[in-house]
A and B are shown apart, each in its own frame.
Chain A
Amino acid sequence: MKAPLIVVGLVLALGPFALTSQSLVNFAMLTVVSAFLGQCWNIAGGFGGLTSFGHTIFFGTGAYTAAILQTRWGLNPWLALPAALVTGSLVGAAIGAAAFRAGLRGSYFALVTLAFAEVFRVLSNSLDFTRGGLGINIPLGMGAGNFQFADRRSTYAVALAFLVLATAAAAWLKRARFGARLAALRENEDAAAALGVNLVRTKTIALALSGGLTALGGVLYAQTYLYVDPAISFGVERSVEMLLVAMIGGAGTVWGPILGAIVLHIIADVSRSWIDTPGFAPMLYGVVLLVIIGLLPRGIIGIWERWRA
């Protein structure tokens, strides 16, 4: 069973390097970025059951980390990757520690993350440090040494590396003791706590891990589009997309978010050829989400699981 999966994976992963069509490369890049962000959400939301409605907090933190390191302190943008890993995890740890200590879970956790995202949006929109609503332009300086790629295939390669990293983290969660503790908390908090699982610490670490990885996506965004602003960084749409990718593919599974991202981006591309308005594709996403929750609570990957069983 593993061999065909690896072959399919390799074709999907390496195929775009052979492509010359810009639109196909772009499609592949956006899909891989989406799969990566969905996988990051999945680490907290799927494996840990921490249904976040504000995951863009970490994405935006990473994007601003990259922009500020370069424009204020003149550092090389590659340094933004370790820096964003740190800032993203710290924000995750802080929000996690506050929320889980207060005993927030389920819908309440979802709402508090939404509120934190709004706090971040308002702050980045108001502070001089982040240049307020103007956003931050990153000076143009194409070159691999400067983490700016003229060729989207290079961006794709970086995104793919991130996706591999996040998927490795998900696969690790599936096997490691830490993942087992997390799953125990997700399935039955009281029972897990009675067995000696440290609730606050376990969940906080999961959110910090997810936050650090998500922040890498923000760095890649900043280096690709060379501009960050409060709405791009902390708008609710990105949080929802991350959740949709994971939920539709299959939350709490290793391959679900990748499948989810492929399905959503095919829907987006096909629907754009029918009706090309900004809301049409997201509307279909919402419909797919409702269908999935109703019929396939384990996500699209559940079809595969059921077929194998």
Chain B
Amino acid sequence: MAEIYAAALINGLLIGGVYALVALGLTLIYGVLHIVNFAHGSLLMVAMFAAWLMAEKAGVHPYAALPVVALAMFALGWLLYRYVIGRVSRGEDRAILLATLGVAVVLDNVFLTLFGGDTRQIESDLTFAVIEAGPLLLSVPKVIAFAVSLLLAGALWAFMALTDTGRAIRAVAKEPEGARLMGIRPERIFALAYGIGIGCLGAAGCLLLPSFFVSPHVGNVFVLVAFTIVVLGGMGSFPGAVVGGLLIGVTESLGGLWLGESLGPIGISLVFIAVLLFRPTGLFGAAR
């Protein structure tokens, strides 16, 4: 019995690592631009499709494709912000929310039109590989995804803390007008931060694909998960996104174990609602 729980716990932590990477992008976008990026799930779907296409059509393993997909997603995010979201929304809260919803609707349905609604997976010798750790069997793609996600999270943190660009991003997040007076152009930083947030999704898509399926609707699954993590950790908080990702991974895994496959997913939505209703600042968030 204890072994089942231990396995569920470890599995939850492993998947939670990738969730953390997805949520980092979202929390970065929120922290800097103060916008709720509803297109986050759909952009992850795009990244997963990109990884799938690289594997199926070009025979490139998702791990090898990771840098390319992450860069391409960065470019897509930068362009989306520069030419669609930033332009359409004129800085109004509701307009931005609806603009990101519009982007999500367009992306979901472009892929539905092009590829149909079927779910797709890649065949890889890694898909079913396991490591034996005592009595536990750990899925190799999940272990790799976990390790690389946390590595990338650390790299992102170092980038934000140590480089001039990172400092500029943090300056704009805190005080856009002050940053402008220091010679930083907030509009550029906004596009850059949005691009980095979406670039995280490029990496996450490649890490998820060997153990996950992709379909044009998969964004709907992830968007709620990502927002739950970010809200739980505190909107805009980096450590919050990592801790929240791990907690939500475990919640999902244990929820499935206790409540069964059909009722299990309710755990995430309930956590989300409870945090919003009772502790909207989350675990690490500053008071609003």
A residues neighboring B (CB under 8 Å): 49, 51, 53, 98-99, 102-104, 106-108, 110-112, 114-116, 118-119, 122-123, 125-126, 132-133, 236, 240, 243-244, 247, 275, 277-280, 282-283, 285-287, 289-290, 293-294, 297
Contacts and interface: CB of A to CB of B under 8 A. Distances in A.
B129 interface: no
A51 B280 contact: no
A119 B110 contact: no
Nearest to A235: B220
B180 to A, nearest CB: 24
Contact residues of B: prevailing secondary structure: helix
Contacts of B239: none
B262 A125 contact: yes
Contacts of A122: 262-263, 265-266, 269
Given A104-B276, A280-B109, A286-B109, A133 B95 contact: no
Contact of A282 (B88, B101, B109, B116): B109
Contact of B112 (A49, A247, A279): A279
A192 B280 CA distance: 23
Interface in B23-40: 36, 38
Nearest to B111: A279
Given A122-B266, A275-B113, A279-B110, A115 B97 contact: no
B197 interface: no
Nearest to A119: B269
Contact of A283 (B109, B224, B231, B276): B109
Contact of B88 (A49, A114, A278, A294): A294
B211 interface: no
Contacts of B227: 111
B113 A283 contact: yes
A133 B112 CA distance: 24
A111 B106 contact: no
Contacts, number: 133
28 contacts: A53-B38, A103-B280, A104-B277, A104-B280, A107-B97, A108-B280, A111-B36, A111-B276, A112-B277, A114-B224, A115-B276, A122-B265, A125-B262, A126-B266, A132-B262, A243-B101, A277-B113, A277-B116, A279-B111, A279-B216, A282-B108, A283-B106, A283-B112, A287-B102, A287-B106, A289-B105, A290-B99, A294-B87
Nearest to B94: A51
A10 to B, nearest CB: 33
A293 B112 contact: no
Contact of B95 (A104, A123, A297): A297
Contacts of B99: 290, 293-294
A133 B261 CA distance: 12
Contacts of B265: 118, 122
Contacts of B97: 51, 106-107, 110
B109 A119 contact: no
A234 to B, nearest CB: 11
Interface in B186-210: none
Contacts of B113: 275, 277-280, 283
Contacts of A247: 98
Contacts of B88: 290, 293-294
B262 A133 contact: yes
A103 B278 CA distance: 10
Given A122-B265, A279-B112, A286 B103 contact: yes
Nearest to A127: B263
A135 to B, nearest CB: 13
B61 to A, nearest CB: 29
Contacts of A287: 102, 106
Contact of B262 (A118, A126, A286): A126
Contacts of B84: 290
Interface string B79-90: 000001001110
A286 B277 contact: no
B67 interface: no
A98 B263 CA distance: 23
A260 to B, nearest CB: 14
B158 interface: no
Nearest to A236: B220
Given A106-B93, A244-B105, 4 more contacts: A102-B278, A122-B262, A283-B105, A289-B105
A278 B276 contact: no
B270 interface: yes
Contacts of B87: 294
B280 A293 contact: no
B273 interface: yes
Interface string B242-284: 0000000000000000001011011001101100111010000
Given A103-B280, A106-B97, A294-B87, A115 B269 contact: yes
